Structure 1
Amino acid sequence: MKHSVVVTGASGFVGGALARALRSAGIAVVPVARSPGAGWRQLADYREAPPADVLVHLAEDNNRGRVNAGGAAASGAAIRTMEQLLAKPYRRVIYASSAVLYGDEESQPRGRGDAVQLADTYATTKWECERRVLQAKGNLVVRLANIYGPAMSANNVISTILGQIPGKGPLCVWDAGPVRDFLWIDDAVTALCAAITSEVDGVLNLGSGVGHSIGEVARIALAISGEADRPVQSTQPAGRSSRLVLDIQETTRALGWRPTTHLKTGVERLMNGRLSSE
């Protein structure tokens, strides 16, 4: 079955990568974004989004602190946009949600049927959008882990770590203890492409299924750079256990997909790419 796809948030990290992959696969794709730029159609409002078989909504702000600071106004705007898109005649909608809905207090990988924790405005907004998306049969919610790769935001922990290499003295992070699930961008895009061309609905987790502490990520990067003797220092340790890793067994079964890029390989690619561009 041939598909036509609209990708919102095409100016962003994941949206841009997905649009390029769909185009390379010969799938008719219309990338859209609110900001001006080459490679996508600029929209003043997502109510102007063009028709297609499938909509992939990746346009929400993924900066948790900024959304929380925006409070009810930011949340309401995101929910209204979701409602406007759902009112359009797409055969199927795929919504990029977040693994933060599971909280960070469980030691075991989190499954898609686990309880959610609405700890803040960001999580509540994601949950409210999910509820609306899942009211229609055939729609899919994808709860994303920490996606990383070339062109990722400068405001994430891997960017913070790599920004201190090369260097001398301690490599500083807020807290080296939390364990998170990191997924390479190409693996994420491959899974999203599989979801688009499938008829899978409901909720799927999208991550690597493997946990790494922030300190471990830093030590991997330091070892690759030949600076393994530098200590990793926590500047604002939370003093509690924090772990969020996704159970991806249902995702691998439903999509016939499996992540292939180990964290060490991904970090090494990022560091080599940065060096080659300097």
Structure 2
Amino acid sequence: MSRVLVTGASGFVGRALCRVLRDAGHTVTGLVRHAGQIESGVREWVDASMDFAAIDAAWPAALQVDCVVHLAARVHVMRDAAADPDAAFRATNVEGALRVAQTAWRHGVRRFVFASSVKALAESDSGRPLREDDYPRPQDPYGRSKLAAEEALMRFGRETGLEVVIARPPLVYGPRVRANFLRLMDSVWKGIPLPLGAISARRSLVYVDNLADALMRCATDPRAAGQYFHVADSDVLTVAELASSLGQHLNKPARLLSVPPGWLRLAGRVTGRTAHVDRLVGALRLDTTRIRTVLDWQPPYSTNEGLAETARWYRSTH
């Protein structure tokens, strides 16, 4: 069994990962900014320093770790209020991540798993599922920061021998999901007509427990060292299929209107929401052959099972 430190352990993915690691028998420490927000059976380490500035001095003397899974990040937002979004994202997602990796290496950690994003690579798949070695073309400050962090961490790994593993998920969903996925469920629940019926483009997504299982494999499997992995569910849905499936599980049939994608793009340009509309109507599929081949990994849950569990949680809160 391994000793794993999870940063961002109180977050959406962090809680799921800590639970999966704990249930598999691993010793888990969760690094969080605020006390009392962590899974039971997980050792808590509180460090409120900005961008992990004090992590080296704060490292507990008795803490021994085999692997760090770095989830903490400045997350993507549609309308960023920062004066310089690129600098703000870089401070946390690049410099902060590298600071954690450097500290981990100094304290004898063998492996560092970085939770990146497909946005480090692209916003669309250009006709075929994206592979790990495709040329990166990030389109926003968040994606650029994730790509820069990947490059800096891999370079640090080559220089020191720290085993760096990069995991790139697409949209993550599951109980306690927020942002656009939650807004979609809200709309379906309230019976709001959705202009999604004519969208045929497919987009990969990943159930949070599937991502947690893959991250655990990245943290513990010797074959993962030095690898990039795309992590996604087996099923690839259109947004209309996604809304319909959510409606079935919520017992609230989705009200889908067949509005041509061209009209939606025009509306996006008029309202200043082009990027938002592009994410609805564009294809973004991930090729997960590498993680399935190298690590013999398969998602433990189907997309239907993940959506059912997500809807069950949503119903319990309404």
Q: TM-score with structure 2 length normalisation? A: 0.77
- Give the structure 2 partner of residue 73 of structure 1: 87
- CA 34–247 in structure 1, closer or farther in 2 if over 3 Å, else same: same
Pair 1:116 & 2:141 matched: no
**1:170–1:233 Cα contact (<8 Å) kept:** no
C-alpha separation in 1, matches of 2:97 and 2:74: 13
C-alpha separation in 2, matches of 1:142 and 1:221: 27
Deviations 1:143-192 (A, max 9, x none): 11211111122x12x3112112433351367x956532111111111111
Q: 2:308 is aligned with what amino acid? A: E
C-alpha separation in 1, matches of 2:145 and 2:192: 40
Deviations 1:75-127 (A, max 9, x none): 33122212211211221110000011232041211111111102221111001
Cα deviation for residue 245 of structure 1 reads 1.1
- CA 260–5 in structure 1, closer or farther in 2 if over 3 Å, else same: closer
Question: Mapping of 1:215-254 within 5 angstroms?
Answer: 215-228=240-253, 230-232=255-257, 237-238=264-265, 242-254=282-294
> Relative to total residues, which structure has the larger helix share, 1 or 2?
2
> Relative to total residues, which structure has the larger strand share, 1 or 2?
1
C-alpha separation in 1, matches of 2:284 and 2:125: 7
1:110 aligned counterpart, secondary structure: coil
Question: Mapping of 1:170-185 within 5 angstroms?
Answer: 170-171=193-194, 179-185=202-208
C-alpha separation in 1, matches of 2:31 and 2:81: 25
Report the more deviating stretch, 67-76 or 82-91. Answer: 67-76
Cα deviation for residue 36 of structure 1 reads 3.7
Pair 1:211 & 2:236 matched: yes
Q: Any unmatched runs of 5+ in structure 1?
A: none
- Give the structure 2 partner of residue 83 of structure 1: 98
**2:71–2:114 Cα contact (<8 Å) kept:** yes
The percentage of counterpart residues that share the same residue type is: 24
- Give the structure 2 partner of residue 92 of structure 1: 111
Question: Mapping of 1:27-176 within 5 angstroms?
Answer: 27-39=26-38, 40-45=44-49, 46=52, 47=55, 48-50=58-60, 51-65=64-78, 69=82, 70-78=84-92, 79-88=94-103, 89=105, 90-103=109-122, 104-135=124-155, 136=157, 137=161, 138-153=163-178, 155-156=179-180, 158-171=181-194
**1:188–1:206 Cα contact (<8 Å) kept:** yes
Q: Any unmatched runs of 5+ in structure 2?
A: 39-43, 267-277
Deviations 1:173-220 (A, max 9, x none): 7x9565321111111111111111112122111112542222221122
Tell me how many residue pairs correspond in the alignment. 274
User: What is the root-mean-square deviation in Å for CA atoms of aligned residues?
Assistant: 2.7
